[in-house]
Amino acid sequence: MRLALSHAAAAGDAGDVPVGAVVIGPTGTVIAAAGNEREVTGDPTAHAELLAIRAAARELGEWRLTGCTLVVTLEPCTMCAGAVVQSRVDRVVYGAIDDKAGAVGSLWDVVRDRRLNHRPEVLSGVLADECAALLRAFFTARR
């Protein structure tokens, strides 16, 4: 989570919402990491989770991220939760809860919907206070 926080801080410094994500591969090593890039790239899908998932797939040479863990500073939205399911990530670990757009347990629970073909394990609240503080500071400075 600390590595994800450093990518989140870098995204915030670049003018994006400070969210960072890391993918840990099946052997326990970091295979991808990213921060939000929506503002930098003008791409509405450039969420940290999607960027990290794409980079991990390139690193592994396949779209199935079986055995991988996604670590992210903010609870994933519906788009990112869908990408987790589609990429077959085994575990999602996140910090701050997103009660306005979260789709991994708070507002929705896409990743544990029994109608879907893949349901990863979820661990929430990891360094939640630090993750939330980074977001609060970013939005306070914007106001």
The answer on whether 131 is annotated among ligand-binding residues is no
The answer on whether 80 is annotated among ligand-binding residues is yes
Residue 129 domain flag: yes
- Domain that residue 77 falls in: 1-136
Alpha-carbon span 27 to 49, nearest angstrom: 20
Residue 49 annotated among the catalytic residues of the structure = yes
Alpha-carbon span 3 to 55, nearest angstrom: 16
Contact 98, 68 (CB under 8 A): no
Residue 143 domain flag: no
Segment 77-124, tens digit of pLDDT: 999 999 999 999 999 999 999 999 999 999 999 999 999 999 999 999
CATH classification of the domain holding 18: 3.40.140.10
Average pLDDT, the chain: 97
**C-alpha distance from residue 70 to each of 39, 134, 138 (Å):** 22, 19, 23
Choose the catalytic residue: 49, 62, 121, 130.
49
